Amino acid sequence: MAAKASVTERAASAGVRVPEGELEGLRTTVRAAVLDQPVWDFHTHLYPPVFGTPLGGTSAAADPRGLMLWGVDELLTYHYLVAEVFRVVPARRLAYADFWRMTKREQADHVWKHLFVERSPISEACRGVITTLSRLGLDAPERDLEGYRRWFSEQDPDEQIDRVMELAGVTRITMTNAVFDDNERQRWLESPAAGSDGRFAGVLRFDPLVQDWPAAAERLAGWGYAVKAELDDACVAEARRFLREWIDRVAAIYCAVSLTPDFCFEGAGDRRTSSAVLARVVLPVLAERGLPFAMMIGAKRGLNPGLGDGGDGVGLADVASVGRLCAEFPQNRFFCTMLARENQHELCVVARKFGNLMPFGCWWFLNNPSLITEITRMRVELLGTSFIPQHSDARVLEQLIYKWEHSRELIADVLADKYADLASAGWRASDQEIRRDAGLFFQGNLARFLAN
Ligand code: RAT
Ligand code: ZN
């Protein structure tokens, strides 16, 4: 009788019966939980000062090829903005080569003039610069680029990292350590302290190993590993040695590749080289080390090479291949993000089938308000709390501020709706439960997936 009565009571409280004030209170709680939640940023291209920095600031010597990018000139020459400025001043008026010949400061002046001064900076990447400057206390309405430059040059890069992490609410930054990048590889080899900054976690990234084995083999051979284009047993053993050594060197918490949209894994017996490298080299080593493998799939490399990093496009990828990997390698764990909007639903469905798959982030061209809202909403509906909603992909330190502020707002709104719907269905999550769930989204799911 009692159970029947409570079902009736709950039914009676469904829909419009939750008082408006209570729903408002719930929304406020959800927003506060998300906005305050410390973040562990799953994927960035940021580095600590030990990797050198082109803008020395007050404490370091400027290192033109340094990897730690920070400051207003770097913010303005972010590749998202380079692509945007070439829409306004196209290559027929300013040749790509002429742009790349300019100094960083001249490039930044060009972007500032055409995207911020001569028209309003309403794109997401432009707005991001404004959010960032404002939160740093720089007066954006003044539009004083020289003044911003002066302020940055008076900062200490190491202290700037602390300041930015504090403002962004980020507690740990995950790097992308590209072993096939000569500049970066050299720095790891020469500086034993490279991985010692506790604010940063290392990730071994090796796209060519999977996407272009013959070229990768040539490089490995040059670095002293006995490998060749044909992947025989001896070669597999050497390639595994290479991976193990570099996983240790960067203290990688996972390994990662970006794969083009044509990436395909056909399952057991697949004879493609990329599949063989995965099946015989990468996944066995990761299983042995207990490390997950992150796949970022869908970037069409070099669609317009003139734009540099900004020249990549997007293509529809084969999500079924991800499912086959999860099925064939149940002892491995996979993080996955895809670049095409059209792949997002299928990726969620595959994630429902495989507990060893963790979808993450709204990547690159998807890192825009309308799409973050759409994708996050769908993921919550299909996966509940079991995904990583966002990563920053920041390349310039201060981008952490805007990327996280903008994303948090959107994720908070989606979750506020979901908890309100839940309340209408008859389940009022407590404040503590809401904070627990927010913790899963912003670091707990990552920590747990890394741990087992
Ligand atoms: O989003 C980006 O900044 C891209 O340029 C890529 O770095 C991409 O995120 C990648 O990691 O390959
Ligand atoms: Zn990236």
- Whether 358 and 388 have beta carbons less than 8 Å apart is answered as yes
DSSP string, 405-422: HHHHHHHHHHHHHHHHHH
Length of the chain: 452
Instruction: Say yes or no: CB of residue 151 within 6 Å of ligand 1.
Output: no
Cα 216 from Cα 212, distance rounded (Å): 6
Q: Which pair of structure tokens corresponds to residue 374?
A: 């759409």
What is the per-residue pLDDT for 4?
47
Instruction: Compute the distance from residue 283 Cα to the ligand 1 centre, in Å.
Output: 23
Task: Report the nearest-CA residue for atom 11 of ligand 1.
Answer: 258
- DSSP letter for 311, please: G
Q: Which of 263, 363, 367 to mutate to test the pocket of ligand 1 (most atoms within 8 A of CB)?
A: 363
Q: Which residue lies with its CA nearest to atom 3 of ligand 1?
A: 393
Measure the CA–CA gap between 11 and 3, rounded to whole angstroms. Answer: 12
Give the closest residue to 359 by CA, choosing from 255, 419, 242, 445: 445
CA-closest candidate to residue 38, choices 443, 403, 400: 443
Fold annotation for 53-153: uronate isomerase, domain 2, chain A (1.10.2020)
Q: Compute the distance from residue 45 Cα to the ligand 1 centre, in Å.
A: 8
Confirm or reject: Cβ of 96 under 6 Å from ligand 1: no
Residue 257 CA to ligand 2 center (angstroms) comes to 10
Which one-letter amino acid corresponds to residue 254? Answer: Y
Q: Which residue out of 206, 364, 399 has the highest number of ligand 1 atoms within 8 Å of its CB and is therefore the one to mutate?
A: 364
Largest CA distance in the chain: 81
Which pair of tokens denotes residue 116?
């911020």
Q: Which atom of ligand 1 approaches the CA of 310 most closely?
A: 5
Q: What's the token pair of residue 234?
A: 């001896």
Distance 224 CA to ligand 1 centre (A): 29
Structure tokens at 207: 């796209």
Q: How far apart are the CA of 62 and the centre of ligand 1, in A?
A: 25
Please say whether the beta carbons of 257 and 295 come within 8 A. yes
Superfamily for domain range 39-50+168-395+442-451? Metal-dependent hydrolases (3.20.20.140)
- Which ligand ends up closest to the CA of 364? 1
Name the pTM for this structure: 0.95
For residue 373, report the phi and psi dihedrals to the nearest 5 degrees: -60, -50
- Rounded to whole angstroms, the Cα distance separating 281 from 234 reads 11
142 Cβ inside 6 Å of ligand 1:
no
- What pLDDT sits at residue 1? 39
pLDDT along the chain (452 residues), means of 10: 45 65 95 98 97 92 96 98 98 98 98 98 98 93 93 97 98 98 97 93 98 98 97 97 98 98 94 96 98 98 98 98 98 98 98 98 98 99 98 99 98 98 96 98 98 90
Q: Which of 448, 266, 296 is nearest to 365 (CA)?
A: 296
Q: How far apart are CA 169 and CA 443, in angstroms?
A: 12
Residue 45 alpha carbon, nearest atom of ligand 1: 7
Residue 207 CA: nearest ligand 1 atom is 12
Q: Is 393 in the pocket of ligand 1 (CB under 6 A)?
A: yes
Q: Could you tell me if the CB of 337 is within 6 A of ligand 1? A: no
Which part of the chain has CATH 3.20.20.140? 39-50+168-395+442-451
| Residues ≥6 apart with Cβ < 8 Å to 262 | 315, 317, 318
All CATH 1.10.2020.10 domain ranges in the chain, comma separated: 53-153
Q: How far apart are the first and last CA of the chain?
A: 44
Q: What is the whole-number distance in angstroms between the Cα of residue 43 and the centre of ligand 1? A: 9
Instruction: Name the 3-class secondary structure at 182.
Output: helix
What is residue 356's three-state secondary structure?
coil
Residue 427 carries which DSSP code? -
Ligand 1 contact via 275 beta carbon (within 6 Å): no
The pLDDT, as a whole number, for residue 15 is 52
Supply the angle between the helices 79-88 and 124-135 in degrees, to the nearest 10.
Answer: 120
Ligand 1 atom closest to 363 (CA):
1
